[in-house]
Amino acid sequence: MTTPASADGANRQAALDQLHADVFAHNMAPFWAVDAQRNHDEDRQVQDTKKARPFVWTYARDIEPLLHRSAELITMESSERRSLILVNPGLAPRRATVSTMYTAYRLNDPNEIMPPHRHSPNAIRFGLTGTQNFTGVEGENIIFGPGDMVLTPHDTWHNHGNKGDEPAVNLSVLDLPLIETLNATYFEHDYHEVAKGERIKRQAQSERFPPDYSQRVYGQGGLRPRFLSHRRGTGAASPMYVYRWAMMRELLDRFRDWDGDPYEGLMVEYVDPTTGGPVFRTITFFAQMLRAGERTRPLKQNASLLVAPFEGRGHSIIDGERLDWAPFDTLAVPGSAWCEHVNGSDRDPAILFVASDEPTLKALALYQKHGRDAAGDTVRLA
């Protein structure tokens, strides 16, 4: 009797085809390669081929016109959400800008405030236009403007809107794709407060902290009031809910004439003032300054990045592809892609707002970072 192992030619191929069909029929996958050709590498055939691609979304040409059209057609009465999620073409239709995070843009009409909600994903809001953007977080009502970053940590009640008389635009970054992968997603909209022993449904949070609480308590680096509780709705994220752009910009300018890092220029991380660690356990944020004419050396890390230029114009080269950018665009830098940034001005700095899933990789002891030195050799940085 001839066995599949000893069969040759057509008989062997037929036996292999039947073997693979039976493996799949029983909800299994083969982990072997018959030969190097794709058609006969059964292991590669069942691998997930959807990967994030380098991509840039253009604010002035694409995002802003769609925001205004959405504001005309989608009212707060018809939907409490009116955001545009940036979907990476390599991951579509999944709601993901890179594999673990997404960026969304929102335009709030004058004097509109949405009701409170909370959810398991961590999120931030970063102001782009308007000086009266509003986010209430756990009883702290925060008014913010361009460049200000507001945290809405997981499991905190929060609501968004615009307190001003002019439209306001902000972008948000969430770790929702990561949370979905971990089957840890939930959203709650049924906001109540207890008054005189009775549970009462409310459309807005009662103010429990002064509007400048975050700055008053945490605005002086290296100093922490001992007489206050720093667990504000969640113990796993920064209790400082707003980071003001004026302070970040001043710090970047203070180091403007320093050498900086050849791979990242001047990069400052937003941190939890009580620990010195990232603001969230899953994702972290940076402001990155490229001085006039500065070009960073090629850098590759397995952390995925979302890059939002805030000041200046330039381009990035990601895995050999040039992507030009301008203020308020968003750039997707997939994990393990080689990337270098170039400031297109020989006079003015360019400043990038950057989100990264670096904390997740570090927590799992998986983070790696490599660069190319001046000679073009690859060196391990982390």
CATH number of the domain bearing residue 212: 2.60.120.10
Sign of the dihedral defined by the CA atoms of residues 41, 43, 45, 47, in that order: negative
d(CA 242, CA 142): 7
pLDDT the model gives residue 1: 45
pLDDT the model gives residue 75: 77
Instruction: Please check whether residue 341 is in contact with residue 262, taking contact to mean a CB–CB distance below 8 angstroms.
Output: no
Collect the ranges in the chain with pLDDT lower than 50. Answer: 1-2, 7
DSSP string, 55-117: EEE-IIIIIHHHHHHHHHH--TTT-S--EEEPPPTTTTTSS-SSSS-EEEEEEEPTTEEPPPB
Give the tens place of pLDDT for each residue, 120-135.
999 999 999 999 999 9
pLDDT the model gives residue 42: 66
Give a yes or no: residue 41 inside a domain: no
Instruction: Please check whether residue 140 is in contact with residue 217, taking contact to mean a CB–CB distance below 8 angstroms.
Output: no
> Which residue reads 């691998």 in tokens?
47
Longest dimension (CA), the chain: 86
Instruction: Please check whether residue 306 is in contact with residue 334, taking contact to mean a CB–CB distance below 8 angstroms.
Output: no
357: Cβ contacts below 8 Å, ≥ 6 apart: 98, 100, 101, 175, 178, 282, 283, 303, 304, 335
Give a yes or no: residue 5 inside a domain: no
pLDDT the model gives residue 236: 85
Give a yes or no: residue 341 inside a domain: yes
Q: Is the pTM for the entire model greater than 0.95?
A: no
pLDDT the model gives residue 173: 98
Range of the domain at 268: 55-380
Give a yes or no: residue 40 inside a domain: no
Q: Domain total for the chain?
A: 1
Which tokens in the block code for residue 199? Answer: 């549970």
Instruction: Please check whether residue 359 is in contact with residue 281, taking contact to mean a CB–CB distance below 8 angstroms.
Output: yes
Residue 320's SS3 state is coil
Torsion of CA 229, 230, 236, 241, to 10 degrees: 140
> Which residue reads 């990337």 in tokens?
339
Give a yes or no: residue 149 inside a domain: yes
Residue 363's SS3 state is helix
**Cα 235 to Cα 163, 173, 223, 259, 294, distances in angstroms:** 29, 20, 19, 37, 39
Instruction: Please check whether residue 309 is in contact with residue 352, taking contact to mean a CB–CB distance below 8 angstroms.
Output: yes
pLDDT the model gives residue 17: 86
Give the tens place of pLDDT for each residue, 310-321.
999 999 999 999
pLDDT the model gives residue 46: 66
149: Cβ contacts below 8 Å, ≥ 6 apart: 124, 125, 126, 127, 242, 243, 245, 270, 285, 353
Which tokens in the block code for residue 311? Answer: 């000041």
